[in-house]
């Protein structure tokens, strides 16, 4: 069985289990109120005990996931306080987990996609509202390509042109790119600026490198526009400045990953806009 099917099947099972867990928590959170208008005191006491055990189990699981994610204390505290006072965090997390699992799949230096993964809905990028900045055939998954068109059209209306330099890379193509960096920079420096084959976000078919592929891009009109507007279209900067110890990679102002609007809003709201923090938490939460 192809690895992509195995990964998809595993996440479908986990999504069903997590949906049940989250629904159970949300139901138990309001069940005391429901029971309070019923007549039997013994049933009410029993229900409260069940609620307490359910909530304790859920909060223990959530706390473990937060701790294992190695989040900064301010983010840890913000999420824990949010869950203690409302269901907003849980509601939003549930919606995200029921989406395409590859939108929140953690791909970093420790967690690879593997050699055989390839999306089955790749489309060739043809330009139009954006400009292709590469003679190679560039591809993205369909939903990311549609979002790119929408985002580039919005930028164009404001006088900004987006240049797309790289998109999907297969395992083999990433092997070639990584090997080139090793030859030119040496192993240690190559690992700061390039993912090893199988460990690249580009293999997801959801990632774009824009424009010059240098951090001079951050000071250009397209770089500034994307930093301020990409999240509105579901794109997130993967490797922000000053977070190399967290992401494993040096600053890449040009590298954006499509994640969907809901997930990007979740990242901005609870994780200070840092993609790695959010995906690490989701990874720990799912893999309980």
> pLDDT tens digit string along 28-79?
443 333 233 234 444 554 455 445 545 777 778 888 898 899 999 999 999 9
Indicate if 92 and 135 belong to the same structural domain. Answer: no
List, for residues 202-243, the tens digit of each pLDDT value: 999 999 999 999 999 999 999 999 999 999 999 999 999 999
Give the whole-angstrom CA distance, residue 249 versus residue 240.
9
Point out the domain boundary residue: 55, 70, 102.
Answer: 102
Classify residue 132 by burial, with Cβ atoms within 10 Å: 0-12, 13-18, 19+.
middle
Q: Tell me, yes or no, whether 131 and 235 share the same domain.
A: yes
Residue 275 is assigned to a structural domain of this protein = no
8 A C-beta contact, residue 66 and residue 277: no
Tell me the CB-side half-sphere exposure of residue 227, using CA atoms within 13 A: 15
Tally the domains of the chain.
2
Task: Look over the chain and give the mean of its residue pLDDT values, rounded to a whole number.
Answer: 86
DSSP per residue, 186-205: -HHHHHHHSPPTT--GGGGT
From 50, 69, 102, the end of a domain falls on 102
Q: Are residues 38 and 80 in the same domain?
A: yes
Looking at residues 114-135, what average pLDDT do you find? 95
Calpha distance 274→262 (Å, rounded): 15
Same structural domain for residues 84 and 146?
no
Domain check: are 70 and 140 in the same one?
A: no
Q: Quick one: 137 and 233 in the same domain?
A: yes
Is residue 86 located within the same domain as residue 131?
Answer: no
Q: Tell whether 83 is covered by a domain.
A: yes
Q: What is the pLDDT of residue 32?
A: 32
C-beta atoms surrounding 31 within 10 Å: 16
On whether residue 215 sits in a domain, the answer given is: yes
For residues 81 and 160, membership in a common domain is answered with no
Q: Indicate if 128 and 243 belong to the same structural domain.
A: yes
Q: Are residues 59 and 149 in the same domain?
A: no
Question: In terms of residue numbers, what domain contains 83?
Answer: 3-102
**Which pair of tokens denotes residue 139?**
């591809």
Q: 92 in helix, strand or coil?
A: helix
Considering the domain boundaries, does residue 200 fall inside one?
Answer: yes
Final residue before a domain boundary, out of 45, 70, 102: 102
In a domain, 278, yes or no: no
Q: CA angle, 3 as apex, 280 and 235 as ends, to 5°? A: 40
Helices (H), the chain: 3-35, 41-68, 73-85, 88-97, 142-157, 171-185, 187-193, 221-229, 244-247, 261-270, 275-286
What CA–CA distance (Å, rounded) separates 192 from 182?
11
Task: Tell whether the model's pLDDT for residue 254 goes beyond 80.
Answer: yes
Are 8 and 52 contained in the same domain?
A: yes
Confidence of residue 6 (pLDDT cuts 50, 70, 90): very low
**If you average pLDDT over residues 188-202, what whole number do you get?**
97
Same domain for 7 and 89? yes
In a domain, 115, yes or no: no
- With CA atoms as reference, report the closest residue to 108 among 238, 265, 282: 238
């Amino acid at each position: 069985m192809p690895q992509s099917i195995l990964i998809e099947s595993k996440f479908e099972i986990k999504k069903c289990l997590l949906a049940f867990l989250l629904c159970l928590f949300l139901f138990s959170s309001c069940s005391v109120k429901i029971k309070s208008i019923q007549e039997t005191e013994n049933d009410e006491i029993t229900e409260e005990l069940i609620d307490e055990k359910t909530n304790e189990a859920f909060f223990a699981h959530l706390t473990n996931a937060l701790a294992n994610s190695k989040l900064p204390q301010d983010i840890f505290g913000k999420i824990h306080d949010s869950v203690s006072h409302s269901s907003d965090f849980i509601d939003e997390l549930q919606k995200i987990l029921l989406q395409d699992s590859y939108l929140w799949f953690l791909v970093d230096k420790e967690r690879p996609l593997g050699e055989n993964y390839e999306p089955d809905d790749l489309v060739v990028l043809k330009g139009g509202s954006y400009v292709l900045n590469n003679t190679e055939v560039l591809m993205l998954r369909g939903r990311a390509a549609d979002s790119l068109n929408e985002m580039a059209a919005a930028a164009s209306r404001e006088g900004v042109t987006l240049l797309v330099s790289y998109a999907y890379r297969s395992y083999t193509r990433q092997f070639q790119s990584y090997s080139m960096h090793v030859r030119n920079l040496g192993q240690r420096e190559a690992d700061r600026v390039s993912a090893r084959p199988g460990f690249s976000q580009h293999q997801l078919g959801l990632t774009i490198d824009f424009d010059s592929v240098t951090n001079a891009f951050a000071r250009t009109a397209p770089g500034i526009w994307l930093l301020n507007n990409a999240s509105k279209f579901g794109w997130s900067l993967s490797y922000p400045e000053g977070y190399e110890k967290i992401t494993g990679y040096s600053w890449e102002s040009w590298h954006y990953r499509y994640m969907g609007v809901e997930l990007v809003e979740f990242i901005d709201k609870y994780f200070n806009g840092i993609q790695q923090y959010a995906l690490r938490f989701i990874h720990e939460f799912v893999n309980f």
